[in-house]
Structure 1
Amino acid sequence: MPRRFVTLDVFTDTALTGNPLAVVLDAEGLDTPAMQALAAEFNLSETVFVLPPTEARHRAQMRIFTPTAELPFAGHPTLGTAVLLALRDQRAGLTDAMAFGLEATLGTLACVVEPGEGRGTGRFRMPVLPEYLGDGPETGPVAAALGLEPAEIGFARHAPSRHRAGPPFLFVPVATRAALDRARVVPAALDDLGPPAALYCYTPDPDGLGHRYQARMFAPHLGVPEDPATGSAAAAFAGVMMQFEPLGDGEHAIVLRQGVRMGRPSSIGVQLCIEAGALRAVEISGGAVLVSEGTLLV
């Protein structure tokens, strides 16, 4: 049966920047191998398949695939799907900010979207908090896996660490923007890093004040050589901040710029709520822009 699809650019307010996303509507009747094959056909970092929710009070259910694997959660698919569904609801006459739940394997994500003309901004609250998975490898193997020198790994209190809020990440602090720009995956050195995980490299953003960082993300084991914007890593980055930064109680805003080296600049907002010295909530925010619409004939 014909199935509608839409593509969007996510974590941006400008088309042809940010992270591209394909969303397949009318996904009922597709089995897992068919979804995986279609995700490989789109060949974007992620493709979303929208299904009816399991609970009537929620807006929809999502299944999220990279070109090679299904994910329990990913950030730019969540934000992009939320904006798309809000825009579709807007066409039905609902024009104010919209709040609804999107079901993912990880849990239900509470979303709030302000739809505009062919675009929107939104935020969602994580259903789980970041999980600390342990310290990262020594700087030597990490540097070798990224084609850098050991002295270029780490800054201030930051050292390699493992966290997840969905898929696992090895977070790698890089000393300078120049080193971040030179980073590249060296496949022969990846086995020395331990269990497979996406590599999220970050450095303080020289163009901003406060908690602003520039980042690059590599996930060759998921069929993603480099990702322009990674919301699941942004959510897990809240755990990095709790580990290495002296944050006090209250609300804290972080801005992560990603995709700059790829020519697909993106901006991801991360909001942390800390009470009694503990992380209580994490929200991810950003924009999304419609790019194309079409019909699948397979």
Structure 2
Amino acid sequence: MRDIRVYHVDAFTTETFGGNAAGVVLDGEFLTEEDMQRIAKELNLAESVFLLPAHDQEADYRVKYFTPTKEVNFCGHATVGLTWLMATELGLAKETTGIVLETKIGNVPVVWHEENGEIVDVEMTQITPKTRDFAIDVEELSDLLGVSSDRIDPSYPIKLANTGNWHLLVPMKHQQDIDQASPNLTALAKMNKEHGISTTHLYTFHTSKECDIYTRDFAPGIGIPEDPVTGAANGALAGFLYLENIISQQNPTHLSIAQGDAIGRPGMLTITVIPNESQPVIKVAGAAVITIRGVLTL
């Protein structure tokens, strides 16, 4: 028998049972990919991350991410959960200020920030963002999302954006329009699979919360009806805002993004966008809380 260390970590929150819960599995080198998929299904969280020895000499560790139904290229909240755990629980912050994770999309640097000797957040630098046009009838989209078509904001384009996975970005007029969305998950999953889309991400600048942007994320095509607070989709959103010249292309932009309220798991993340012509640097940061520590026996 093998004992595998397994954790639940709530990412993008400072409160237990807030934000987005990730499974964190530290002993990935003893597992096959089939084992990983079965463990992710058993944990039944949006994503679980598995830590392995690096192949790339420029990375400190290698990671693999799984939803309950499939492997995905990248997951922001699981990255935050893992690195928060390593910095705090495993004491890595006493030895270094950060690490580099080898992923399927490239190496992702992560640093942790301290105040008065305590870790306050971890910050990952995502890969260079890119966007792609996406043609869809607004009425068809509104039916998929379960919203009135007049609540989709025509001020911004409906596009795909990527900092590791493709996300369909849908601008909405107000937070309440996002909260009232009731998507047809079966039809949305079918559409997303047909176009290679990981998640459909609703966002608005008009919110009653103390933040810059309010979002909500649906990912039935990869086995996640709704992802509470997502670093990957919000990182892609920030890249899209820069590339579309919606935020400054001359000066750094700092964004606070709230998500998760609609399903009772409110969370907050901060994003820094550093201008660099057509290749801005996207840094996504958040805190985390370790909620479960356990051992899985195989």
Identity %: 27
CA contact (8 A) 1:49 1:62 kept: yes
CA contact (8 A) 2:159 2:168 kept: yes
**Runs (5+) with no aligned partner, structure 2:** none
- Runs of 4 or more, structure 1, over 4 Å off, are 115-120, 191-194
Show CA shifts across 1:242-271 (max 9, x none): 216152302101111110111101111111
- Change in CA separation of 1:247 and 1:114 when aligned onto 2, cut-off 3 Å: closer
In structure 2, what is the equivalent of residue 184 of structure 1?
Answer: 182
Q: CA deviation at 1:119?
A: 6.5
Q: CA deviation at 1:239?
A: 2.8
Local SS of the residue matching 1:83: helix
CA contact (8 A) 1:269 1:285 kept: yes
- Change in CA separation of 1:119 and 1:248 when aligned onto 2, cut-off 3 Å: closer
Q: CA deviation at 1:177?
A: 1.7
Tell me the amino acid that sits aligned with residue 133 of structure 2: G
The within-5 A match list for 1:251-266 is 251-266=252-267
Q: Does residue 71 of structure 2 align to residue 108 of structure 1?
A: no
In structure 2, what is the equivalent of residue 143 of structure 1?
Answer: 142
CA distance in 2, matches of 1:41, 1:130: 33
Q: CA deviation at 1:136?
A: 4.4
Show CA shifts across 1:157-193 (max 9, x none): 3131111111111111111222111112114643567
The within-5 A match list for 1:212-291 is 212-242=212-242, 243=244, 245-276=246-277, 278-291=278-291
Aligned with residue 167 of structure 1, among 161, 165, 169: 165
Equivalent pairs counted in the alignment come to 292
Give the alignment's TM-score, normalised by structure 1: 0.90
The within-5 A match list for 1:1-298 is 1-55=2-56, 58-90=59-91, 95=94, 98-114=97-113, 120-126=120-126, 128-155=127-154, 157-187=155-185, 189-190=187-188, 191=190, 195-197=195-197, 198-207=199-208, 212-242=212-242, 243=244, 245-276=246-277, 278-298=278-298
Q: CA deviation at 1:206?
A: 2.5
Tell me the amino acid that sits aligned with residue 53 of structure 1: A
- What is the Cα-based RMSD across aligned positions, in Å? 2.3
Q: CA deviation at 1:58?
A: 3.3
CA contact (8 A) 2:206 2:214 kept: yes
Q: CA deviation at 1:287?
A: 0.5
CA contact (8 A) 2:173 2:206 kept: no
Give the alignment's TM-score, normalised by structure 2: 0.90
